[in-house]
Amino acid sequence: MNLFSLIRAAIPSPVKTFIETNAGTILTYADMLARSGQLANVLVARGVKPGDRVAAQVEKTPESLLLYLATLRAGAVFLPLNTAYTPTELNYFIGDAQPTVFVCDPSRRDALSAIAAKHGAGIETLDANGQGSLTDAATKASSDFADVARTSDDLAAILYTSGTTGRSKGAMLTHKNLSSNAKVLVEYWRFTKDDVLLHALPVYHTHGLFVASNTVMLSGGAMIFLQKFDADEVMKLLPSATAMMGVPTFYTRLLKHSGLTKAACAHMRLFTSGSAPLLAETHVEFSEKTGHAILERYGMTETNMNTSNPYDGDRIAGTVGFPLPGVELRIADADTGTVLPQGEVGGIEVRGPNVFAGYWRMPDKTKAEFRADGFFITGDVGRVDPRGYVHIVGRAKDLIITGGFNVYPKEIEAEIDAMPGVIESAVIGCPHPDFGEGVTAVVVCKPGASLNEKGVIGELETRLAKFKLPKRVIFVEDLPRNTMGKVQKNVLREQNAKLYAS
Ligand code: AMP
């Protein structure tokens, strides 16, 4: 039941291309097998045993994906970390997950080795060109490796989600969670060995790592790896690709590109979008310009993919489609869990082989987010229309999604509130033409305090990942509150709705 055995079984031919990069690297499936085998031998030599964690904060390269595969083969648990995380944040993740090996960029080795050592992890390096102590050791290792057997309930990965209460939670994903979802997506989205996926997503997040890579690998297809999304680069590569998976920001950026035409997309069969709401206007405009209806789907770190617009049939703008085969979805009263009548708006709950095994070492938090009958409370609010399409209408949790990244306001508010001269703050997402939502801080200062926008952002820069930083800081006398004393973030959002208008 090791996911890697399914990946291995799907290899169409050893000479077939597995990954190519825009820098000219080409890896065949034979290379993938040999090099992931070498890396797995290095991990074992470094003391990694089945069930141990292997953490990685590394740039996206073919080698970073091979490290994920090597971890699976060794029966260990992969723990990818956002490259933007600061040492303070990493200290928490490494301390919480206690990996046996932590892989980082060589430029950060000095700054991070004490953190790794403190938590008992060995440190290895891998840079943006796929070079480092890890690959040095791998070149000397044997490529033969006997994959470690796993049961379907054994863990394959832990992905940290930001915590609404400040602490991040590690979502535990089993081999079955990942393989069942990837199998469903291969069929639903019709992936075959002839597909070439234009892969411009990060590989430390569920979208780029599992939705994109696992789906391609289980179909024996190929990927073109771009380290970052770049509209010019994507336009250049579209004629070599058949599919692209993106966040809405990719599509708004492509729409600004003068080269985006039907002819430019003639070789493509599928564009998908997820991780944040795709504006109906974007869907319509893209379809007018290219003839392609973007296929929007909905999922989350904890559940993998839950719903998708159909491959054949209407892909409806502003909806996330139907529950995927094997996924049960219901709309329930957020407080009581009572299932609501068809058409009503309520909390989205899901159950199925895609749903994670719980939060790492947080049994109480895990319990609180599941109903007694096994449904997971997603925290998203939605409804199902008469045709069965799911609509997401909001988020029960106070989440900002900026450029596809989740930002939990509480974490940033706590940092701002701790600054001298601050009484309180509210962090909100405001419509942003490029990022979807722009992180915005509204701050109340003590009389006479000499805080300014630049100073607040500068202070946060040392503590928080770049994507979490407010793009604007606004100073006000008071925060608007309702009769229950709760800050009315909706009022703040309305007041600042045009803050980033272009
Ligand atoms: P993550 O765990 O980072 O993948 O974030 C998951 C959250 O992203 C979900 O709980 C939703 O709030 C949001 N999300 C993902 N896909 C969509 C979508 N197609 N439309 C609206 N929100 C989405």
Q: Model pTM?
A: 0.88
Alpha-carbon distance of 295 to 322, in angstroms, equals 12
Instruction: Give dist(CA 61, CA 377) in Å, integer.
Output: 35
List of residues 6+ apart from 325 with CB closer than 8 A: 184, 187, 188
Please give the Cα distance from 9 to 232 (Å, whole number).
36
Largest CA distance in the chain: 71
Q: Whose CA is nearest to atom 22 of ligand 1?
A: 276
Task: Choose the residue to mutate in 247, 302, 380, 398 for probing ligand 1, maximizing ligand atoms within 8 Å of C-beta.
Answer: 380
User: Which residue type, as a one-letter code, is found at position 366?
Assistant: T
Token pair 């009389």: residue: 447
Cα–Cα distance for residue pair 416/112, rounded to 1 Å: 25
User: Given this model, what pLDDT does residue 178 score?
Assistant: 98
158-206 confidence digits (pLDDT tens): 999 865 445 789 999 999 999 999 999 999 999 999 999 999 999 999 9
Percent of the chain surpassing pLDDT 70: 98
CA 85 and chain centroid, separation = 14
Q: State the closest ligand 1 atom to the C-alpha of 296, by its place in the atom list counted from 1.
A: 19
Ligand 1 midpoint to CA 192 (Å): 26
Distance of CA 242 to the CA centre of its chain: 22
Query: Which of 148 and 166 is assigned the larger pLDDT?
Result: 148
Residue 483: pLDDT over 70: no
C-alpha pair distances (Å), 366 with each of 45, 78, 355: 34, 20, 12
Ligand 1 atom at shortest distance from the alpha carbon of 395: 12
Ligand 1 atom index nearest CA of 405? 3
Of the ranges 51-60, 397-406, 489-498, which is most confident?
51-60
Residues flanking ligand 1, CB < 6 Å:
161, 206, 274-277, 296, 298-301, 320, 378, 380, 392, 395, 401, 406
Nearest to 224 by CA among 251, 243, 249: 243
Cα(57) to centroid(ligand 1), Å: 23
Distance between CA atoms of residues 172 and 160, nearest Å: 9
User: Got the DSSP string for 73-141?
Assistant: HTT-EEEE--TT--HHHHHHHHHHH--SEEEE-GGGHHHHHHHHHHTT-EEEE--TTS-SHHHHHHHTS
The helices-and-strands tally (H runs, E runs) of the chain is 16, 24
CB-neighbour burial class of residue 1 (10 A; exposed 0-12, middle 13-18, buried 19+): middle
On whether the CB atoms of residues 201 and 247 are closer than 8 A, the answer is yes
Which atom of ligand 1 lies at the shortest distance from residue 397's CA? 12
pLDDT digit string (tens) for 314-353? 999 999 999 999 999 999 998 889 999 999 989 999 999 9
Residue nearest to atom 5 of ligand 1 (CA): 300
Kindly report each contact of residues 163-166 with a partner whose C-beta sits within 8 Å and lies 24 or more positions away, as own/partner. Answer: 163/408, 163/411, 164/397, 164/398, 164/399, 164/408, 164/410, 165/410, 166/408, 166/410, 166/411, 166/414
